[in-house]
Structure 1
């Protein structure tokens, strides 16, 4: 392990927040539940929006479906906070885990996909819906969103199984 990683693990392991997370029988299970609820809200909301953009439920207006994006943001914030507390609580488990780092990388890719959606797809989305087909670019971004978040879920499930001894 490199010295920066060792320093991060040691610093987080001795922090007050680490003790709050690990020394209380209720906190870690509560974080797991929050993470699951956040993931459900995030992915469920994205499924509604992305599947509509891909072409399912064409009778639903896009402006009504895009309402679900607010819930996706709420789910992401819940997962960001609970995930950060997982890392603070058990840095020796997460910071040396390849599945964790691949998950973080994939979340970064999903974030770039979201930025692309906000800057290049969403402004044209409502105009294109007024009587025209959605662009292939919009459908590609929606497919990427679904695929990347599914990969995030799978990698999250791999974390306990790819621990280093």
Structure 2
């Protein structure tokens, strides 16, 4: 596994994109700002939707909270692009970092949770039911979403401070 990881790291470090990210004084900080903006959109929107699903702000129709899903998708797209640029630019830091790989695992789990949300919970929201009428699994999905994305944020902050695998 280490040999494969070393080859991948060497390959990524040899790319022009890696040089562009690491050799330009403006690119990495701009990517960090974009990643933070994406995080704000993603987590802020999910906070509104998930908290509404679990029963907060009952005066707001649940179908109206669903509008925020678009902002979450935009934030995720921004973070996907900027995150990939981080990995290509500084693969020596990311690909050998346990916090990074744990974060990626949590993102996969959050993605599976989101797929379940889209398949089972969103149709209920589209019908305009109140949060008290949602199936119990809807609240579990919402709390799990909040927990997973909070973990992703925390692990992202750990990456600079955690060493090799």
User: 2:53 touches 2:131 (CA, 8 Å); kept in 1?
Assistant: no
* Residue matched to 2:105: 105
Within the alignment, does 1:85 sit opposite 2:79 as a pair? no
Distance in 2 of aligned mates of 1:73 and 1:162: 29
What does the per-residue CA deviation read over 1:15-55, in whole Å, with 9 as the maximum and x for residues that have no partner? 00000000000000000000000000000000000000000
Matches of residues 6-155 of structure 1 in structure 2 within 5 Å?
Answer: 6-127=6-127, 129=129, 133-155=133-155
Runs of 4+ in structure 1 deviating by more than 6 angstroms, as ranges, are: none
How many residue pairs end up in the alignment? 165
SS at structure 2 position matched to 1:96: coil
In the TM superposition, what is the alpha-carbon distance from 1:2 to its structure 2 partner? Answer: 1.7
User: 2:58 touches 2:131 (CA, 8 Å); kept in 1?
Assistant: no
Structure 1 segments unaligned to the other structure (5+ residues): none
* Residue matched to 1:163: 163
User: 1:97 touches 1:164 (CA, 8 Å); kept in 2?
Assistant: yes
Structure 2 segments unaligned to the other structure (5+ residues): none
Distance in 2 of aligned mates of 1:49 and 1:58: 12
Q: TM-score, normalised by structure 1?
A: 0.95
Distance in 2 of aligned mates of 1:79 and 1:132: 33
* Residue matched to 2:3: 3
- Call closer, same or farther: CA 1:155–1:120 in 2, change over 3 Å: same
Distance in 1 of aligned mates of 2:131 and 2:115: 26
What does the per-residue CA deviation read over 1:117-145, in whole Å, with 9 as the maximum and x for residues that have no partner? 11112112343716962221111100000
RMSD: 1.6
Distance in 2 of aligned mates of 1:113 and 1:105: 12
Of stretches 87-96 and 134-143 in structure 1, the one that deviates more from structure 2 is: 134-143
Q: TM-score, normalised by structure 2?
A: 0.95
